[in-house]
């Protein structure tokens, strides 16, 4: 399993994360969710692991977030656009 460092994110007009970006290139939200759930890749923002959250109230039922306590700079919403 490779670790991928996320340095930017793509967001839709509502501010929802739609893709992750870094030296590895670009990965869609759904692709990253699949990678994480299947153990193919670990995604990190700074020192924080990005995890999949199951939430039936959101479109698709899942979203990505950094683990709590990682700090504001590691928050996916605060990363620059890619």
Specify the pLDDT at position 74. 60
3-class secondary-structure state, position 4 = strand
What tens-digit pLDDT sequence spans the chain (82 residues)? 799 999 999 999 988 899 999 999 999 999 999 999 999 999 999 889 999 999 888 778 899 998 766 555 568 988 999 9
pTM, two decimals, is: 0.88
Which of 2, 7, 71, 74 has its CA nearest to residue 41? 2
- Tokens 């199951």 belong to residue: 54
Domain count, the chain: 1
The answer to whether 30 touches 60, Cβ cutoff 8 Å, is yes
State the burial class of residue 31 (Cβ atoms within 10 Å of its Cβ: 0-12, 13-18, 19+): middle
Structural domain boundaries enclosing 62: 2-78
Pairing of strands 8-11, 2-5: unpaired
pLDDT at 60: 80
């Amino acid at each position: 399993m490779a670790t991928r460092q996320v340095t930017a994110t793509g967001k839709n007009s509502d501010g929802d994360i739609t893709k992750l970006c870094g030296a590895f290139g670009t990965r869609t939200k759904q692709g990253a969710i699949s990678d994480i759930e299947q153990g193919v890749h670990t995604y990190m923002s700074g020192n924080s692991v990005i995890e999949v959250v199951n939430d039936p109230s959101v479109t698709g039922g899942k979203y990505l977030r950094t683990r709590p306590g990682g700090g504001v700079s590691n928050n996916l919403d605060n990363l620059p656009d890619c």
